[in-house]
Amino acid sequence: MKDVEYLDRLDQAEALLKPQRVDVLRQLAEPRSCTEVATVLDQTPQRVYYHVKRLVEAGLVKQVSERKVRAVSEGVYQATARSYWLSPGLVGRLGPRVARDELSLGYLVDLMEEVQADVAALDRTAPELPSIGVSGEIRVAPERRQEFLDELKTTLQDLFTRYGGAEGDAFKLAVACYPKGDARD
């Protein structure tokens, strides 16, 4: 089972974005039969099987084994990942696409989608996966905002220059700086 699966196909999004299927998918974090899931969710096995079948078709669930129950074969299923990222590209952009510069929110959305796709494509079975995630909050007075952004850009350009040679392992660095909304405080 993968840690994260990046969903960039419409059929995957359609299969996932139904509340009943999300409930079934949660139950399939561990291998279970449709009958077992149905019992937990207080649904009929047929109804659960219908949802499982759609999730299998979308590649979000796989059959991991089969067992005999009273002379009937019963499939045992498991989710393909612990969590799923839905590509913003599936929704598309509304309205005309305007030129995006480094300071626009549109550029930030595009960057985050690129990071999602890159991280989802990493080989999680590799013995070593050197990476780092850093998050923090910085408070800047409005009159010093441009000074802060300029210093951040200079610092990053210095790192790119110092470590931007053609030799060694390639790493991608993405930095996002955006106003923190009150809703997340």
Which H or E run includes 2? strand 2-7
**Digit-coded pLDDT (tens) for 126-136:** 778 788 888 88
Residue located via tokens 């994260």: 4
Tokens of 133: 């995630």
Q: What is the distance of C-alpha 14 from the center of its chain?
A: 16
Taking alpha carbons only, the member of 35, 56, 55, 31 closest to residue 45 is 35
Q: Structural domains in the chain?
A: 1-83 (1.10.10.10), 99-162 (no CATH)
Q: How many CB atoms lie within 10 A of CB 115?
A: 14
Residue-by-residue pLDDT tens, the chain, 185 positions: 888 888 888 889 889 888 999 999 999 999 999 999 999 999 999 999 999 999 999 999 999 999 988 888 899 999 999 888 887 777 665 455 555 555 567 777 777 878 877 877 777 777 787 888 888 888 999 999 999 989 998 998 898 888 887 788 888 888 887 777 765 44
Q: What is the β-pairing status of strands 2-7 and 81-86? A: parallel
Tokens of 136: 């923090």
Q: With contact defined as beta carbons under 8 Å apart, do 173 and 159 qualify?
A: yes
**Digit-coded pLDDT (tens) for 81-114:** 988 888 777 766 545 555 555 556 777 777 787 8
